[in-house]
Structure 1
Amino acid sequence: MSDHDEAGTVRPSALAWVGRQLAAGERVVATEALHGGITAEMRRLTIGTRDGGTRALVLRTFVDPSFVAQAADLLNREADVLALLAGTGVPAPGPVAVDPAAAHCEYPSLLMTHLPGRTVLDDRGLEARVPLLARQLVAIHAVRPAVRPREYEAWTTADAVVPPDGADTAAWAAATDVIREPAPPYEGRFLHRDFHPGNVLFDVAPPGPAGPRITGVVDWVQTSWGPVDLDVAHCSTNLALLHGPAWGLRFAEAYEEAGGVLAAAAGERLYWRLLDALAFSTGVRWVARPWQEAGRTELTTRTVEGRLDAYVTALLDTLG
Structure 2
Amino acid sequence: MKTIAVDAMGGDNAPQAIVEGIERARDDFPDLQFQLFGDESQLKELVKNTTRITIVPTTEVVTGEDEPTKAIRRKKDSSLVRAALAAKNGDADAFYSAGNTGAVLTAGVLLVGRIKGIERPGLITIFPTVHKDQHFLMLDVGANAESKPAYLHQFALMGQFYARDVLGLSKPRVGLLNNGTEADKGDTLHKSVYELLDADPDIDFVGNVEASNLFNAPADVVVTDGFTGNATLKAMEGTASTVMHLLKQNLLNNGLLPKLGAAMAKPAFKALAEMFDADRAGGAVLIGVKAPVVKSHGNSDADAVYYVQKQLDAMLSHGTVQSVIQYFSTHPEKPAAAAAHKEE
Query: Above 0.5 in TM-score?
Result: no
Higher relative contact order (CA 8 A, sep 6+): 2
Q: Which has the higher helix share?
A: 2
TM-score (norm 1): 0.28
> TM-score normalized by structure 2?
0.27
